[in-house]
Structures are given as structure tokens and as C-alpha cells.
Amino acid sequence: MTLKYFTDANSAAGYVSLQKENLLGITTVYHLEGPDDSLISHLLEQLANLLVSRQLKPEYVYSTFNPDFLAGLVIRELDMAFTSGKAVMDGVEIIDLIPVYEGSTIKENKEEIDRLQLSAEQFYKKMYMHLNGALHIHDEWEKIYIDRMDYGLANRFKADLVARLFDTKISPYSGHGDANGSGARVVRRFFGASTPDGLHDFIPELTAGLKRYLIKGRPGTGKSTLMKEVVAKAEELGYDADVYHCSLDPKSLDMVVIPELDFCIFDATAPHEYESAFAGDEVVDTYTAFIRQDTDERCADVLEEIEGKYGNQIRLALLAMRDGHDCRRELQVIYEGAVVPREVDRVLNFLAEKLGVD
């Protein structure tokens, strides 16, 4: 299984990074620092090809600003990672890419570069404002279902499901932690990102070969809470967990993978809607399990209004994101015209040496 994911998100809370939370246990980190995402992606793609040719299995981290671009690689077999982007962790080695560019070309275009950078920042600020508005409306959406929840039934349902997922009659795996969870590794990341073309996710790649539990339900019907309880049980029993947060609301969870037990559980509702597609897939419907079944009908008018307001905020956010993306593409053209090819080769050879493979 090839792991592809995001560690950053453009969210209702602004720009959020989980780089540090994803690199638990990694001791060697190189941070590529440069003005052009396309060059960074090119360098990382070349490194990834080299790693694969040596039978290694890198994890592919993509850019939340452009999901076509690689933003990082994690090579757990080598205890090593390459990162980029806004977030710079403590204790990393900075790889400065500025020498790759012809200084005179950059100087000649400085005024246009400054203008485009400022415009992009303004568009992204507008995007964050609309994403925040969408989240507040989503809270109203959730409240309708929260107010019509049978909490006793919900708690029993979640407890029964968690017990079944971990089959607590079986002794816990103890390769990484003990029965109290000490030593269990919990990494955190995003499986999806908002893009100018809508939400982009890597669910098919991340869930390939796993027993899949697809959570269906409505906003506020306990999907994220259920997954948080899965994470807590994993830590208690000493199982590693890969935790994927919601790119709109990073406090919420969208998916949990327990690699040692070969299962995942994820939110399969819009905007990342998935249906049962493989033998062994199981649907977990929180709405039918513990929400009053006449809720959709009784609240239809209010729900339609809320859904419309929410969709409008998302639409406005995407429009602002597209404008920001257009600015970044214009910047990319300028920087690509300033690249010195021999310097790119030099940096690539330098990075390959860091890997310790040739």
C-alpha cells in the first residue's frame, strides 16, 4: 500500500500544519526552503524514484495549495524525512534553494513577484474567512441532530462497536506498547485538502487492502466522536494509530487506521462520499442507530436553508482559492524562467547523498 496524504490544511482556523505530529520518531529531517512549489515537487519526485528503485517505501506528502505537487517524503525505514512549506520544525536542517535561481532574473521581476505574493495572501485571507463562516453554519447544522440524539443509545452503540473493532477477548499486540498504551505511536495528518477544484482526498490509496468501516450519518451524529474513542482504545491497548483530521475543522477526525489490525474507519459522507465497494466493507450508520428517525422530515425546511448557506460559503471559499492559485501559477512561471539547470542537478545530487543511496 502506497501512503499518500497531506500534513497541512487550509482550514476554517487558517493554515494548520501537522508536520510535527506526522513525524513522530523521525530523527533526521531536511526542510526544502524555496519560493517555487514546482521545483520542490520535481526534486522530491526524483528522490522518490530513487528510493523506489532501491526497494524502499517512501510516504508521499502532497501540497495543500496544489495537490499535484509533492511537498514532502517520509522514509521510515531510514528514519528520515524531507519537508517543505510554511511550517518549519525545530531541529531540522534547512536546504536553501535560492541559489538554484538566477539572481538577476529574480531582481528584474521583484516588483511583479511582490505584487503576486501580496495578492495571493489577500485571496487566501478571504478564503479562510469563508471557510470559517462555513464551519459556523455547520455547527448550526450539527445542533439540529445533536438535539434529537438518544445519548444512552449512542453511548452503547459506540462502546459495542469499539469493543468489536478491537475484539477485546484477544490479547493486545505488544510489539510497540504495553497494555497501558505506553509506546504506542499515534501519527496525525490529513487525508484530504480543499483545492480550487473541490475536495481532493487519498482514501482509495490509504484504505487499499484494509477492512473498511464506512461511517454514514448526518452532521452532529457522533462520527468524529466515535473515531476519537477508537484512537483512545488503540492507545489503551498499545496499538499504533494513523489519525486523519478534517481539513475544514482540524479538531474533528475523518479517518483512523489501525495498521496492526488491518482495519480503518472513516467518514464516508459528503464532501468525501464513498459507498461500500469491496468484499468486507461494512457501513456504520449513526443516524439510524441513535437519532430520531423523523428528524430529516420534521426539520426539512431548516435543513435546506442551512445546507444552502453552507454551500454558498464553501463556493465563495473555493473562488477565492482559485484566485490565489492563479497568482501562484504566475509566480511559478517567473521562477521557472530563472532556474539554473546545473544548480538543480547539484542540489539533487546533494539530496541523494543525504539519503545514503546512489
What confidence tens digit (pLDDT) does each residue in 99-149 have? 999 999 999 999 999 999 999 999 999 999 999 999 999 999 999 999 999
- Count CA atoms closer than 13 A to 11's CA, side-chain side: 19
For the chain, domain boundaries: 4-101+339-355, 149-291
Which residues make Cβ contacts (< 8 Å) with residue 65, sequence separation at least 6?
10, 37, 324, 325, 328
pTM exceeds 0.85, yes or no: yes
**Arithmetic mean of pLDDT, 14-25:** 94
Check: CB of residue 256 under 8 Å from CB of residue 266. Answer: yes
pLDDT, tens only, 279-300: 999 999 999 999 999 999 999 9
Instruction: Map residue 148 onto helix, strand or coil.
Output: coil
Q: What is the pLDDT of residues 200-246, one digit of tens each?
A: 999 999 999 999 999 999 999 999 999 999 999 999 999 999 999 99
CA dist 167 and 175 (Å) reads: 17
- What was the pLDDT predicted at 347? 96
User: Region 33-52: what's the mean pLDDT?
Assistant: 96
Q: Which of 347, 283, 309 is nearest to 135 (CA)?
A: 309
